[in-house]
Amino acid sequence: NVGIFLVAAIGLGILIVGSVLLLGRLNETIQVHNEHLVFRWYVILKDILSRMILAFKLWIEQPAVLGVAVLLSLATFLVGYFSGWVLISQGAGADIKFVEWIAVSVVMYFLILLPISINGLGLQEAGLVFVLPLMGVSPEASLLYAVLIRLLQLLLSIPGGFLLWVGKKQVESET
């Protein structure tokens, strides 16, 4: 149990440090560049906030939409956690409880959100290779699991990327 708390504390520390670095970098960028960049950031933030306000209005007017979205999100995460837990506990023969696996998965999720690599490439793998041996998984099995999960994520994102590309081409041809 101490190992889980240690991993969670390290993950939280990394998240805080990454956030501070990101905010410092944004501040530095705005100070160094001209007003055009500041205006561009303003337009981007205004667009994001307006979309968020529209989403909040929809949730207030139709709370069932929010409920369905939350349930679908929860189901998606639970299926992902469960499949990862089955793979690591059955495939690697590790004695990891489901709740412990969820804790590891949440820490890894926040680790890959750090803006220091593209799509958390390398962060997730390094995190899993560091954490899983602390939980009784061999380093080899940890690395294999990390690489397989990355390949699976890439494979599953290809259809979405293709649809996004096709949709963008259709919008460009219509304008």
- pLDDT of 29 reads 52
Q: Under 8 Å CB-to-CB from 10, ≥6 apart: which residues? A: 107
Query: By CB neighbour count within 10 A (0-12 exposed, 13-18 middle, 19+ buried), where does 111 fall?
Result: buried
Report which residue type is found at 58. Answer: L
- pLDDT of 171 reads 57
- pLDDT of 52 reads 79
- pLDDT of 108 reads 87
2-6, 112-116, 165-169: which has the minimum mean pLDDT? Answer: 2-6
Cα distance between residue 146 and residue 98, in whole Å: 18
- pLDDT of 77 reads 83
pTM summary value: 0.56
Phi, psi for 6 (deg, rounded to 5): -65, -45
CB 15 within 8 A of CB 127: no
CB 106 within 8 A of CB 80: no
Cα distance between residue 85 and residue 69, in whole Å: 24
Tokens representing residue 5 in the block:
């708390």
